Structure 1
Amino acid sequence: MPRRRGVSVRLKLTFSYAGFLMLAGALLLATVWVFLLRYVPDHAITSQPGLDGLVRFFPDRSDLQRAFVPRAAEAMAFLLVFGLLGGWLLAGRMLAPLGRITAATRRVASGSLSHRIAMEGRDDEFHELADSFDAMVDRLEAHDAEQQRFAANASHELRTPLAITQTLLDVARNDPDVDVRSLIDRLHEVNTRAIELTEALLTLSRADQRSFSRERVDLSLLAEDAVEALVPLADKRGVAIDSDGTAAPAFGSHALLLQLMTNLVHNAIVHNIAEGGTVQVSTAVDGNRVGFTVENTGPVLAPELVATLTEPFRRGTERVHSDHAGLGLGLAIAKSIVHAHDGMLTLTARAEGGLRATVLLPRAPSGT
């Protein structure tokens, strides 16, 4: 909302400095006045003639007032001028870092996310504010770059099934002898994959926006459900799944946390050795946190590759698509779901091959 222009902070500080200085000066002069009054009589006193024959008069309070008040007024006027001038200079010096922060904020607001304040000097409130601003812009720049990559990859991934569909339809239209049954099966396969991709993108968006209700969820029960649903796929690929652990109560979305568990177990099954692979799923409680671990055998992964696995549309082994190759969104969705639940997802390459995925979430408070 538009607001009326108010008095500048520098002017307010100037008046504050000058006002405080005037107040201190007034208190000092008042103290001196009270002190002098103790030694000045109410009426003038005339002394007896001295040895020199002179009669001396001692001043009374009216004489003190005539001598003190003009000098006090001059002192107060000096303090006022000095306070305004000094306060203006001091306020400008103190607010100079704030001017740099304001200028940087405007540059970032105009789209220059690469700009940083990089304030030098000792730590103080302004330095802490500048460092916090730089850290915020770092996150914004990284998020913006990630969103741009995601948009480009999503456009590419969504365009692929549409292009395949268009090609199949063009071939069918130009070839009257086309196998209709085969064409329908192929179109059904392509359409199914497009639907899966769209649903994955919607899940990712829903997790990022945190637009879901929360309830008490036992991660050990979710692990059992995810394993049970994926046993046929594991049997088909010759992978043995072992699940164990204790009750691990979390507080969040049952559907999203089940999706998280399913994605990690599915990833562990698909990214495994051809025959004789294993997947270990376990849950645990650690103080005020609960978590689960999904660990699998598989090819040896480089640490720099593991660091990119949670990026959308990244496929760790750069393999070709198979029947369960996935969309490249499983770990990206898992990461978003974990962050939406204020948790942490850690991926670690196993020395003997395979991947260990560890999720830590806040423990559900008792009584929820």
Structure 2
Amino acid sequence: MKLRTRLTAWYAGVFLIAGVALIGLNYFLLAEWFQPAVGGVAVARQALPYPTSEMLTVTELPADTMVVTGEQVQSDVLSRLLWQSAIALVIAAVLAVWLGWVVAGRVLAPLHEITTTAHRLEATRLDQRIELEGPPDELKELADTFDGMLDRLASSFDSQKRFVANASHELRTPLAVQRTLIEVALAAPDATDDMRRLGAHLLDTNERSEKLIDGLLLLARSDRGLASRELVWLDEVIDDEVESCGSLAAEKEVTFDVSTRPYLVEGDPVLLAQLVGNLLRNALLYNEPGGTVSVRLDRELVVSNTGPAVPAEAVPGLFEPFRRLRDRTGTAGSGLGLSIVQSVARAHQGSAKARPNGGGGLVVQVNLPETGVRQPS
């Protein structure tokens, strides 16, 4: 039961209790005041030619006079009081329920505004505020406290994102210097075989570190949201990324199965290219020789592969940074691919989800809002 309904029920219940108590009190006071007289009361169709305080015998009254006892008069008056009061109480109770519903709605309106604001909030959109106007009561204090909490959260998120971006940027320079020094050492004429093997291992480690840093920079950039937007044909982005992944597909002995339609979105073309590229490279890296990568773009972008079986309970964790399946640790991935996909999708007001493929592998579904513009024929 909603709070508004409960408040209305409480209001109507208290009103009914007070009304019943008031009717009972009136009934008791009237019964105490209206004591039955000794003898009877004459009720005639016309005025009697006698003083009202004079005691008369029945034979002295007109023939059409009805005589009732005092107890009967008291009972009739009290019963009429009861049923008329009950009717009035029912009518007043209906009005009380309606008024209670209206008043409860007005009282709870600020709470609905707080709830609506909370639903609009995301980690990448902490700019929403309630800014409730009105007297300084408990609800105003609650809304101001909520706004203050959002200010602190937004500051904390911004500080964290800036730290990740700055740290990743600062780490790229020494890695580039290390790579250059290793390449110079390997190019020396007096380099021994052991030095060349060690240098090749160091270059591979350095390349992995650079890819990791680039992934962190991209993740931090997409988490900050989009500074500007432009129209991007997603189907063209898919075609370009499929072509760029051709050498990796040939190396892994994997084929592409692509089916797209013109699909226009509004966003950052670089981030969208990274989203598609990460999906395709993940599908290639975690595939089997002779497998396929299926790419479908209709109402949403769906990329699936034919790799090893993926447990359903492990799928949600794949969207967390640096999370990979146990049998994927030997691959060249950094564990940021699906995290970047999800972050870029959210930055474009979209979503990303995954599920195990029936015959092995993974199916990733990315929903990006499509604009109403269609490609000219």
Query: Normalising by the residue count of structure 1, what TM-score does the alignment of the two structures yield?
Result: 0.51
Alignment match of 1:219 (pick from 217, 234, 250): 234
**Which whole-Å deviations, capped at 9, do the CAs of 1:223-272 have from their partners, x for residues lacking one?**
11111111221122121111112111000010100100010111111112
Aligned to 1:251: 266
**Which whole-Å deviations, capped at 9, do the CAs of 1:165-184 have from their partners, x for residues lacking one?**
9xx9xxxxxxx977332333
In the aligned structure 2, how far is the partner of 1:306 from the partner of 1:183?
37
Displacement of 1:364 in angstroms is: 2.5
Displacement of 1:311 in angstroms is: 0.4
Alignment match of 2:347 (pick from 340, 347, 350): 340
**8 Å CA contact 1:206, 1:212 repeated in 2:** no
Aligned to 1:297: 306
**8 Å CA contact 1:227, 1:265 repeated in 2:** yes
Aligned to 2:329: 320
Alignment match of 2:210 (pick from 184, 195, 200): 195
**8 Å CA contact 2:226, 2:347 repeated in 1:** no
In the aligned structure 2, how far is the partner of 1:297 from the partner of 1:363?
28
Q: Secondary structure at the match of 2:371?
A: coil
Aligned to 2:337: 330
CA gap of 1:294–1:188, structure 2 versus 1, over 3 A, is same
Aligned to 2:73: none
The one-letter code of the counterpart of 2:365 is T
**8 Å CA contact 2:226, 2:268 repeated in 1:** no
CA gap of 1:178–1:220, structure 2 versus 1, over 3 A, is closer
Aligned to 1:280: 294
Displacement of 1:186 in angstroms is: 2.4
**Which whole-Å deviations, capped at 9, do the CAs of 1:3-42 have from their partners, x for residues lacking one?**
xxxxxxxxxxxxxxxxxxxxxxxxxxxxxxxxxxxxxxxx
The one-letter code of the counterpart of 1:245 is T
CA gap of 1:202–1:367, structure 2 versus 1, over 3 A, is same
Displacement of 1:222 in angstroms is: 1.0
**Which whole-Å deviations, capped at 9, do the CAs of 1:60-85 have from their partners, x for residues lacking one?**
xxxxxxxxxxxxxxxxxxxxxxxxxx
CA gap of 1:220–1:178, structure 2 versus 1, over 3 A, is closer
**Count of aligned pairs between the two proteins:** 230
**8 Å CA contact 2:286, 2:328 repeated in 1:** no
Aligned to 1:172: none
Q: 4+ residue runs of structure 1 moved beyond 6 angstroms?
A: none
Alpha-carbon RMSD: 4.6
CA gap of 1:367–1:241, structure 2 versus 1, over 3 A, is closer
Query: Normalising by the residue count of structure 2, what TM-score does the alignment of the two structures yield?
Result: 0.50
In the aligned structure 1, how far is the partner of 2:351 from the partner of 2:192?
56
In the aligned structure 2, how far is the partner of 1:250 from the partner of 1:211?
13
**8 Å CA contact 2:345, 2:351 repeated in 1:** yes
Aligned to 1:31: none
Q: Secondary structure at the match of 2:365?
A: strand
1:114-133, aligned counterparts within 5 Å? none
Aligned to 2:360: 353
Aligned to 2:219: 204
Q: Secondary structure at the match of 2:210?
A: helix
Identity over aligned residues, as a percent? 36
Displacement of 1:366 in angstroms is: 3.4
The one-letter code of the counterpart of 1:280 is S
Q: Secondary structure at the match of 1:364?
A: coil
